[in-house]
Every structure is written in C-alpha cells, then in structure tokens.
Amino acid sequence: MVEQTSQSPADDHALDLMLRQAADGNGSAWASLVRRYTPRVFGLILKQCADKELAEEIAQDTFVTVAQKFLDNKGYDERGRFESWLFRIAMNRLRDEMRRRKRQARPTDMSPAASARKDEGDNSTPGWAGDESQLINLKPVKSHSPADKMIRDEQIERLKKAVEKLKDADKEIVHLRHIAGLSFAQIAEMQERPIGTVLARSHRALKKLREIMENPESSP
C-alpha cells in the first residue's frame, strides 16, 4: 500500500520550507523533494496499472508538471497538503494516458505488463493483497495448500474482472481505497470533494461491485 504519513508541526514546517525553496529554484531542495516523493507517486500509480514502466513514466511526468507549475506560478501557492496535490496530478496524468491507450488499442490488445505476465506464466495478482476479502465477502482461505491457493486465485480473478466492469469513477475509488490504501480523507483532498461525497461514492461502488459478483451475467 502507499505509505501514509503522520507529520508533526516541525515536519510540516520543514516541508513548507522545502517547497518554497524548490519553487524558488533551489536545486538542492528540488532534488530532496523528488527523492522524498517519487517512491510514493510510483507506488500509487503501480497499484492502479500494475505496469512498472508506465508507473515510472507517470512518476517522471508528474514531477515535470510540478516543476512547470512552480515556474508558472513563480512559487508554490496550492492550498492543502502537498502530497494530495501531487497525487492528484499523478492520477490525472494516468487517466489521460489510459484514455489515450484505450483509443489506440484493439479489443485483443493487452498492456505490456499483462502480456509479460502471460508469457511468463505468472498467475500473481499485483495490488490485490490487502483487504480484498472485505470488498465482496470472499470465502476465507485458512491454509496455504495448492487447492486453497487455487480457490483464492480464482476468487481474486473474479473480483478483478468485476472491478473492471465498474464505471470509471467507481473503479477509481475502489482502487484508491482498497488497493492503494489511501484513507477517505486523503481521497477527498486529492479529488477536491467533501469527505461525505467520497464515502457515499465508495458505498455505491462496493454495492455495485457485490451486485456484479453475485450476477456476473447480468452486468454489462
């Protein structure tokens, strides 16, 4: 999951100073900022797309965008937490890229990551290792025998296919909350929405997900 940090007032002050210095063109402060947040951006995007190369590209593009915004605004003046602002830029960049790929892709195309996993015979399920059982009440698997592992893999595969049938907005909140591991407060800040709206959307998305799991043939 994406690391969630709890910052002290001293940490906040140090970050504010780093941001101001980076926005004013201080190369050392900029390098520290990139070094500190690149792993978090990369981890967030990787959980969304399971494609290492794409996650690296999005992380790089995200900081290019941040640098440009610093130059355009001649200083950092965003309100709210920097991390949420940064994640929002990264997610917007990922959406743009996925839309572009969707327009260009043929129905039989697979992403490079998916194709590589198929060629290598990898049956792993990147990103679905935390609380997927809470999403749709998967049958608990208490042992690690080959038969039980097969059952769990089948359950998770069904879950992944069901998530792909959700509307984009519902799919995103499921990914951010249950795969990337962001809190509802982080999601609300990142999406610039009231937390009540985020909670309602999450409830709706999980309800729809369960309906798809229970009636896969009736879903689009």
Compute the mean pLDDT over every residue in the chain, rounded to the nearest whole number.
76
Asked if residue 37 has pLDDT above 90, the reply is yes
What does pTM read for this prediction? 0.60
Taking the CA atoms of 75, 78, 79 and 84 in sequence, report the sign of the dihedral they define.
negative
Using the 3D structure, point to which of 54, 84, 108 is the last residue of a domain.
108
5 lies in some domain: no
For the chain, the first-to-last Cα distance in angstroms comes to 30
Q: Is there a single domain that holds both residue 25 and residue 70? A: yes
Strand residues in 32-89 grouped as ranges (E): none
Q: What is the DSSP letter of 218?
A: G
Asked if residue 129 has pLDDT above 90, the reply is no
Q: Are 117 and 49 in contact (CB under 8 A)?
A: no
pLDDT tens-digit series, residues 153-171: 787 788 888 888 888 888 8
Using the 3D structure, point to which of 108, 141, 168 is the last residue of a domain.
108
Q: Is there a single domain that holds both residue 126 and residue 89? A: no
Average confidence (pLDDT) over 30-42: 92
Element holding 179 (H helix, E strand)? none
Q: Which residue has the tokens 């002290």?
A: 8
Using the 3D structure, point to which of 87, 108, 129 is the last residue of a domain.
108
pLDDT tens-digit series, residues 60-105: 999 988 988 887 775 566 656 888 889 989 999 998 888 887 887 6
Q: How many domains, in total, are found in the chain?
A: 2
Element holding 70 (H helix, E strand)? helix 52-73
As a whole number of angstroms, the distance between CA 22 and CA 18 comes to 6
Instruction: Count other Cβ atoms within 10 Å, centred on residue 18.
Output: 19
Confidence of residue 133 (pLDDT cuts 50, 70, 90): very low
Instruction: Count other Cβ atoms within 10 Å, centred on residue 99.
Output: 11
114 lies in some domain: no
Confidence of residue 122 (pLDDT cuts 50, 70, 90): very low
Which structural domain range is residue 207 located in? Answer: 121-220
As a whole number of angstroms, the distance between CA 175 and CA 81 comes to 21
